[in-house]
Amino acid sequence: MHTSVALLLELGLILTALSALGALARRFALTPVPLYLLAGLALGEGGIAPVPAADEFVEIGAAIGVVLLLLTLGLEFSLGEFAASARRHVRSAVVDLVLNATPGAVVGWLVGLSPLGVLALAGATWVSSSGIIARLLTDLGRLGNRETPAVLSVLVLEDFAMAAYLPLLTVLAAGGSWWQAGLGVLLAVGAVAVAFVASRRWGHQIGRLLSHPEPEQLMLRVLGTTLVVAGLAELVGASAAVGAFLVGLTLTGVVADRARAVLAPLRDLFAATFFLAIGFAVDVRALLPLLPAAIALAAVTAGTKVLTGAYAASLDGVGRWGRLRAGTALIPRGEFSIVILGLAAVADPTLGALVTAYVLVLAITGPVLARLVRAPLPARSGPNVRVDRR
């Protein structure tokens, strides 16, 4: 078997650079996500040091990375707890759609995009990045916070909505009819519903089948099952992230704890590749003319996401700082916006540069803003001072 020398050298340099950037971020108690994205810009098309031999590995690794991020996020919660939270947050999903899809649709109409382009831009501004936010919550130690179930409910309800939106956009972008688009939507939504019911009904049996005392066997079984489910979800027009998250929710107790431990190194490696890939997809030279418009749109939709998260957290009785943390956590856009761009950019060339610049701005600034939001420490007034943990 012939091994490409260029591939090995480029991957070695990429991993070394990511390690240095991660260490730098940790030194200042920051998440490394923005630095990984900037590294992708520098190493991708139009960057200062492109690495063409590693392109295919980064693309494949990115797909695995988002699957692992959502799998490990699902392992933190039980299916019953999540189902109850999701039912409570249907109103949050409606608020999310209205507040965040509307700015994209309005801007698309104002700049003269086609109806397909307007629909695509509305989707790009609506849906947050599950992959970036999953890593962000872990890095900031917020998985146990009171506002986190509300954030996850909004994210996964968005992912479920993508099961209807993406087939619709795919058929329309290919020139299909409305009845074909409707059929694709019904198929995708039905598949997600069947998977959810199956997870609730046979989750314990699935957990027993995947469990094994040897870490290697456990890792192979859980990872293999997750990739199969994620692939089937993509096949029917749903999201691989939804499939991976459902697998994580299905596993509970000791099996979930052990799965988290054995999968953590793989998750970190491929998650870094995922963030790098977002930067790889950007040609800096093409997006510069549309950067001002993208920044303005990003500022508006960052504000609407803060309102969305605050509303969702308020339904769970979270305090004002928790509501603000929930809102800023939802700001980043990422993988879904890139997918939407790939489906619709052919019909509207202007859309490609605008969405790319928009995603880049929020993927970098979102984690930084989320890191800055922390409740102030109470003033010292005596030995019985209470700490505000809202």
Rg (CA), the chain: 21
Give yes or no for residue 307 having a pLDDT over 90: yes
Q: Residue 143 and residue 151: Cα distance in Å, rounded? A: 10
Per residue in 214-234, pLDDT (tens digit) is: 999 999 999 999 999 888 877
Domains and CATH numbers, the chain: 10-47+66-372 (1.20.1530.20)
Give yes or no for residue 324 having a pLDDT over 90: yes
**Which carries the bigger pLDDT value, residue 251 or residue 82?**
251
DSSP state letters, 198-248: HHHHHHHHHHHHH--SSHHHHHHHHHHHHHHHHHHHHHTTS-HHHHHHHHH
65 CA to centre of own chain: 10
**Which carries the bigger pLDDT value, residue 162 or residue 329?**
329
> pLDDT band at residue 382, thresholds of 50, 70 and 90?
very low
> pLDDT band at residue 2, thresholds of 50, 70 and 90?
low
The whole-number average pLDDT for the span 264-279 is 86
> pLDDT band at residue 349, thresholds of 50, 70 and 90?
low
Note the pLDDT of residue 174. 67
pTM for the model: 0.75
> pLDDT band at residue 327, thresholds of 50, 70 and 90?
very high
Neighbours of 186 (CB within 10 A): 12
Per residue in 199-216, pLDDT (tens digit) is: 677 767 777 888 888 999
Per residue in 145-190, pLDDT (tens digit) is: 999 989 988 988 887 787 778 777 777 776 766 666 677 667 766 7
| Cα distances (angstroms) measured from residue 224 to each of 126, 220, 229 | 31, 6, 9
- The per-residue pLDDT of the chain, averaged, comes to 81
Note the pLDDT of residue 253. 80
Tokens of 23: 């260490």
Q: Residue 390 and residue 269: Cα distance in Å, rounded? A: 33
The whole-number average pLDDT for the span 282-300 is 83
Per residue in 72-105, pLDDT (tens digit) is: 877 877 767 667 777 788 899 999 999 999 999 9
DSSP state letters, 110-176: HTT--HHHHHHHHHHHH---HHHHHHHHHHTT-TTSTTHHHHHHHHHHHHHHHHHHHHHHHHHHTT-
